[in-house]
Every structure is written in C-alpha cells, then in structure tokens.
C-alpha cells in the first residue's frame, strides 16, 4: 500500500490514480471489512 501511495501522491494522471485505487480496493477490501467488524465488536464491549 505504501508503494501505491508513493506512486499517487504527486500523480496528475487519472489513469494512474484509478489503477492504484483499484489495486488497493481489491487487495485490501476483505481486510478492511474484517477490521470494521473487529472495531465494531470492541465498541460494543
């Protein structure tokens, strides 16, 4: 994810941004969903 951030932080080419966004979304989606569930469960305690 750091590499994607480094490629996009000063990118002005929309295709670069969309490519990196898609990679992050597809690769990390399950992890973010699990984190959401875990944090929600902690908030209920």
- The whole-number pLDDT of residue 37 equals 95
Burial of 33 (0-12, 13-18, 19+ CB in 10 A): exposed
Q: Answer with the residue of higher pLDDT: 11 or 34.
A: 34
Domain residue ranges in the chain: 2-44
Mean pLDDT of 33-37: 95
State yes or no: pLDDT of 2 exceeds 80. Answer: no
User: Would you give the DSSP letter of residue 13?
Assistant: -
**Angstrom distance (rounded) from CA 11 to CA 19:** 12
Q: Answer with the residue of higher pLDDT: 42 or 6.
A: 42
- The whole-number pLDDT of residue 20 equals 84
* pTM of the shown model: 0.49
| Alpha-carbon 44 to chain mean position | 25
Mean pLDDT of 24-35: 91
List CB contacts of 2: < 8 A, sequence separation 6 or more: none
| Alpha-carbon 26 to chain mean position | 8
């Amino acid at each position: 994810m750091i590499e994607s951030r480094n490629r996009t932080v000063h990118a002005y080419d929309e295709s670069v941004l969309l490519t990196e966004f898609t990679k992050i979304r597809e690769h990390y989606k399950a992890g973010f969903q699990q984190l959401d569930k875990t944090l929600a469960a902690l908030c209920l305690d």
